């Protein structure tokens, strides 16, 4: 099993450097795409507090959040899996108009946790229902993928079914209106609760959400709490 020290060393170097070298020699900026060290520490700490042994993440990117998650899992004595969903590691994606060039996967290799992480290279709107179909379950979910309303709405609804009743969903970039609206739906209609919130600089705010009773997914179809601004 990988060591917490090895994971921490690779993660700290990524944060300190702020750039990674793509296979073609280009320098890619890690921030503000990746979460910062304060948010990462909050994510790791909630993994440890919850005693999480199995986690799922939407958005691998440069693997900063993944390494924080793995650090928490290793501290809990878990050998995984951690499922990371990202269709843009090796295919067309947002960095330079191409992809993340596999740099996130390389970071996992360097940290010794590649075998701990099950990478799903599909969009989350396909990958999360597939996990549900497989009968997978997780102790905690981190959502930091496509930030358009329809995408994050589906991500939240689906991960809410993958974690247990009263489980944790950690949401990045909650300062964005689309993400705020999706969270408001879950709070108003699914009885989720905001347990804590945080901010790091001007680029990232986050929420730690606790899911509500499972039967809220089967509420009467006439029951609806409006959630627009």
Residue 126 sits in a domain of what CATH number? Answer: 3.40.50.150
Q: Which domain does 176 fall in, by range?
A: 4-218
Residue 211 lies in a domain: yes
Asked if residue 124 belongs to a domain, the reply is: yes
Q: Is 53 a member of any domain?
A: yes
Instruction: Give domain status of residue 19, yes or no.
Output: yes
pLDDT band of residue 94 (cuts 50, 70, 90) is low
**Separation of alpha carbons 149 and 166, rounded Å:** 24
The total of structural domains in the chain comes to 1
The arithmetic mean of pLDDT across residues 23-52, rounded, is 91
Q: pTM of the predicted model, to two decimals? A: 0.93
Q: In terms of pLDDT, which residue wins out, 167 or 23?
A: 167
Phi, psi of 83 (to 5 degrees): -95, 125
């Amino acid at each position: 099993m990988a060591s917490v020290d090895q994971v921490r060393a690779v993660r700290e170097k990524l944060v300190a450097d702020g750039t990674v070298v793509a296979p073609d020699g280009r320098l890619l900026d890690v921030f503000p795409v990746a979460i910062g060290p304060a948010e990462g520490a909050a994510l790791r700490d909630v993994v440890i507090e919850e005693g999480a042994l199995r986690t799922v993440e939407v958005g691998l990117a440069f693997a900063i959040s993944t390494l924080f998650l793995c650090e928490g899992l290793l501290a809990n004595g878990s050998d995984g899996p951690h499922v990371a969903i990202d269709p843009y590691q090796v295919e067309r994606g947002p960095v330079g108009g191409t992809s993340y060039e596999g740099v996130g996967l390389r970071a996992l290799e360097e940290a010794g946790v590649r075998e701990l992480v099950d990478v799903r290279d599909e969009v989350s709107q396909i990958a999360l229902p597939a996990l549900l179909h497989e009968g997978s379950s997780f102790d905690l979910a981190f959502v930091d993928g496509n930030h358009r309303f329809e995408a994050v709405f589906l991500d939240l609804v689906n991960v809410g079914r993958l974690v247990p009743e009263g489980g944790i969903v950690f949401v990045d970039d909650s300062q964005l209106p689309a993400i705020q609206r999706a969270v408001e739906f879950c709070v108003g209609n699914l009885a989720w609760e905001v347990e804590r919130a945080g901010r790091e600089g001007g680029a990232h705010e986050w929420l730690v959400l606790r899911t509500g009773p499972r039967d809220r997914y089967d509420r009467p179809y006439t029951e609806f709490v409006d959630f627009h601004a």
